[in-house]
Amino acid sequence: MIGKLKGVIDSYGEDYVILDVQGVGYQVHCSARTLQSLPLQGEAVALSIETHVREDQIRLFGFTSDHEREWFRLLQTVQGVGVKVALAVLSTLRPADLADAIALRDKASVSRAPGVGAKVAERIVTELKDKVPAFSNIDPALVALAGAVEENRAPRPVLDAVSALVNLGYAQPQASAAIAAAARQAGEGADTAKLIRFGLKELSK
């Protein structure tokens, strides 16, 4: 299997690049975000490669880092997510942003990817939520509390504070994360008003 290619950009297609490696042109499919980050025609580049072999074809998928390739693989472990959807998600969200969205159960951000409906987004954040904390930069304690808020298991003042921020126009995951951070700062026993004040400060950062 091909795991990495170093060569020169020969040409670009709609969703692929032709990479000239010592005179051999490899067609490498990439996400829109990856294509935009690649150098100009005639310049050198190295790509991490995922090789898909079928009876009738061999397809190469290219990534600017091994980390992005791991996300491509991870996304396809979700029911209903194939290479097309995985590339669409990676075209819309950077790996770090995708990790944060899954950690905070932010289905709306994931569903912004073309071809990703509400059901697929729900499966992505649900099936990958236990695998993502290692990839996310968010404090695991905030992830846990944000999850408790979504599942209606958080203390009443926390739930009321999240509801207040949602009524102010903030998205549910954004409000949950802000109040989760506020709860840590304000300490146990903080009332709803204090949590809202702290939460608004978080959102203004």
56 and 76 in a common domain? no
At residue 46, what are phi and psi to the nearest 5 degrees?
Answer: -125, 135
Does a structural domain hold residue 134?
no
CA distance 32 to 4: 19
155 and 192 in a common domain? yes
Per-residue DSSP letters for 35-93?
HHHS--TT-EEEEEEEEEE-SS-EEEEEESSHHHHHHHHHHTTSTT--HHHHHHHHHHS
Mean pLDDT to the nearest integer, 3-14: 96
101 and 152 in a common domain? no
Reference 124, options 98, 151, 96; nearest CA is: 98
Could you tell me whether strands 24-29 and 16-21 are parallel, antiparallel, or unpaired per DSSP bridges? antiparallel
113 and 58 in a common domain? no
Q: Which pLDDT score is estimated for 174? A: 78
Does a structural domain hold residue 155?
yes
Does a structural domain hold residue 75?
yes
| Cβ atoms of 108 and 97 closer than 8 Å | no
| Cβ atoms of 61 and 49 closer than 8 Å | yes
Does a structural domain hold residue 132?
no
Does a structural domain hold residue 144?
yes
Structural domain boundaries, residue 188: 140-204
Mean pLDDT to the nearest integer, 93-119: 88
75 and 57 in a common domain? no
Q: How many domains does the chain have?
A: 3
Exposure class string for 3-41: b at 16+ Cβ within 10 A, else e: eebebbbeeeeeebbbbbeeeeebebbbbebbbeebeee
The pLDDT confidence band at residue 11, using thresholds 50, 70 and 90, is very high
Q: Which pLDDT score is estimated for 158? A: 86
Summarize pLDDT for 23-72 with one digit per residue, the tens: 999 999 999 999 999 999 999 999 999 999 988 889 999 999 998 999 99
**Tokens (6 digits) for 2:** 């091909």
Is the predicted pLDDT of residue 132 greater than 80, yes or no?
no
Pick from 92-101, 140-149, 158-167: least confident: 140-149
CATH of the domain at 78: 1.10.150.20
The pLDDT confidence band at residue 100, using thresholds 50, 70 and 90, is confident
Beta bridge partners of 29: 16, 61
96 and 58 in a common domain? no
Q: Which pLDDT score is estimated for 16? A: 96
Does a structural domain hold residue 163?
yes
CATH of the domain at 19: 2.40.50.140
Mapping DSSP onto H, E and C, the string for 78-105 reads CCCCCHHHHHHHHHHCCHHHHHHHHHCC
